Chains A and B, each alone.
Chain A
Amino acid sequence: AQSVTQLDSQVPVFEEAPVELRCNYSSSVSVYLFWYVQYPNQGLQLLLKYLSGSTLVESINGFEAEFNKSQTSFHLRKPSVHISDTAEYFCAVREVTGGGNKLTFGTGTQLKVEL
């Protein structure tokens, strides 16, 4: 079984400041890693994913995440946030093989960008 820990339930940050949202996971098998974003009153959207290869993955809107196998982490970072980045961010894992495509989510981190 897998589990995902997002230690920060809320992260307030000023616009144009850098931000890091932390994600740690636990699994006895190889996993894929994901970050999903949920804007207010909307469904989840895939932000970025790590499947294999380069441990640093990037999204089209400036977010990046780095897979660290030794620390079992997949932290999300952005060097300069915008007010429109205010949303709930969920880290998730999925077994590489088996598991029926089941996504296991963390409890989410509310990113609040202030002027």
Chain B
Amino acid sequence: DTAVSQTPKYLVTQMGNDKSIKCEQNLGHDTMYWYKQDSKKFLKIMFSYNNKELIINETVPNRFSPKSPDKAHLNLHINSLELGDSAVYFCASSSRAVSYEQYFGPGTRLTVT
């Protein structure tokens, strides 16, 4: 019954590796987001997709590439991981009809060593 789910919950990897984080929502929403929460708990939006179309792309390095195979999924692929990428990544979703209310996933804690 999880509304917004993310896998994996924890991800520990070495610098230079490529990794992906998956997000799925079963709420029937048409908009999905990726947020990054740093070590000081500051939350910042990275990307937003509406009906598989990219609508928000904040100043995120090209190493980060979101992919939305369908409305219910928004995956985040990260190339050549760096120490500074260590953070908690949250996926969220909302519907166009109630666009002001975003539902967040449990987060993926990425640790780059």
Q: Which residues of A contact B (CB under 8 A)?
A: 32, 34, 36, 41-46, 49, 51, 88, 90, 94, 100-105, 107-108
**By DSSP majority rule, is chain A's interface helix, strand, loop, or mixed?**
strand
Is B34 an interface residue when CB atoms closer than 8 A count as contact?
Answer: no
* Interchain Cβ contacts within 8 Å, total number: 53
Q: Which chain B residue has the least Cβ–Cβ distance from A99?
A: B56
CB pairs A–B below 8 angstroms (13 shown) = A32-B100, A36-B104, A42-B107, A43-B104, A46-B103, A100-B48, A100-B55, A100-B56, A101-B33, A101-B99, A101-B102, A103-B45, A105-B42
Q: In whole angstroms, how far apart are the Cα atoms of A34 and B101 in the complex?
A: 9
- Which of under 10, 10 to 19, 20 to 34, or 35 or more describes the interface residues of B? 20 to 34
Bound CA–CA A101/B102 (angstroms):
9
B44 touches A44 (CB 8 A): no
Q: A25 CA to B103 CA in the complex, in Å?
A: 22
Q: Quick one: which of B33-86 are within 8 Å of A by CB?
A: 33, 40-45, 48, 50, 55-56
Cβ of B100 and Cβ of A102 under 8 Å apart? no
Query: B100, A101: Cβ atoms under 8 Å?
Result: yes
List residues of chain A with CB within 8 A of the CB of B33: 101
- Are B43 and A90 closer than 8 Å at their CB atoms? yes
Nearest-neighbour CB distance to chain A for B68, whole angstroms, equals: 15
In the complex, chain A residues whose CB is within 8 Å of the CB of B43: 44, 90, 105, 108
Q: How far is the CB of A102 from chain B (nearest CB, A)?
A: 6
Q: Do A101 and B41 form a contact, CB below 8 Å, given A42-B106, A44-B90, A44-B104?
A: no
User: In the bound complex, do residue A103 and residue B90 qualify as a contact, i.e. CB atoms below 8 Å apart?
Assistant: no
State whether B101 touches A46 (Cβ < 8 A): yes
| Complex Cα gap A32–B102 (Å) | 13
Task: Point out the residues of chain A lying under 8 angstroms from B44, CB to CB.
Answer: 105
